[in-house]
A = this chain, B = another copy of it.
Amino acid sequence: MSFFDKHVFICCNQRAPGEACCNNHGSSELLGYMKDQIKARGLAGDGKIRVNKAGCLGRCDDGPVMVVYPQETWYTFIDKEDIDEIIERHMVGGEVVERLKI
């Protein structure tokens, strides 16, 4: 049995100025937004969904990126609308959001 049904890791790595990194695209802010939404919708907690900050996930060219385990689904995202769609369709509905999948 999974400790978390869906365990989300969002890259918030910040590199030196001029270097590509997820945090240049606001990933920390969107991490906060996703955490807030998951809590507000009652989806957080033991055995359910957890959203975590992570260091560089090694897919900088596709950034900002997140990975959802244990499903092993990787997403790119650019704004709150993308996060909303991932929550609604993947976290709640259990389907992969193909247009954001990498």
Residues of A within 8 A of B (CB): 2-4, 7, 9, 46, 50, 52-59, 67, 69-70, 72, 74
- A4 surroundings in chain B (CB, below 8 A): 58
Q: Which of B2, B54, B56, B58 contacts A9 (CB 8 A)?
A: B54
Q: Which of B54, B70, B74 contacts A72 (CB 8 A)?
A: B70
Q: Which of B46, B58, B59, B69 contacts A69 (CB 8 A)?
A: B69
Q: How far is the CA of A22 from the CA of B74 in the complex (A)?
A: 27
A55 to B58, Cβ gap below 8 A? no
* Chain B residue, CB-CB nearest to A72: B70
Q: Can you give 19 A-B contacts (C-beta < 8 A)?
A: A3-B59, A3-B67, A3-B72, A3-B74, A7-B67, A7-B69, A9-B9, A46-B58, A50-B57, A50-B58, A52-B54, A53-B54, A53-B55, A54-B54, A69-B69, A69-B70, A69-B72, A70-B70, A70-B72
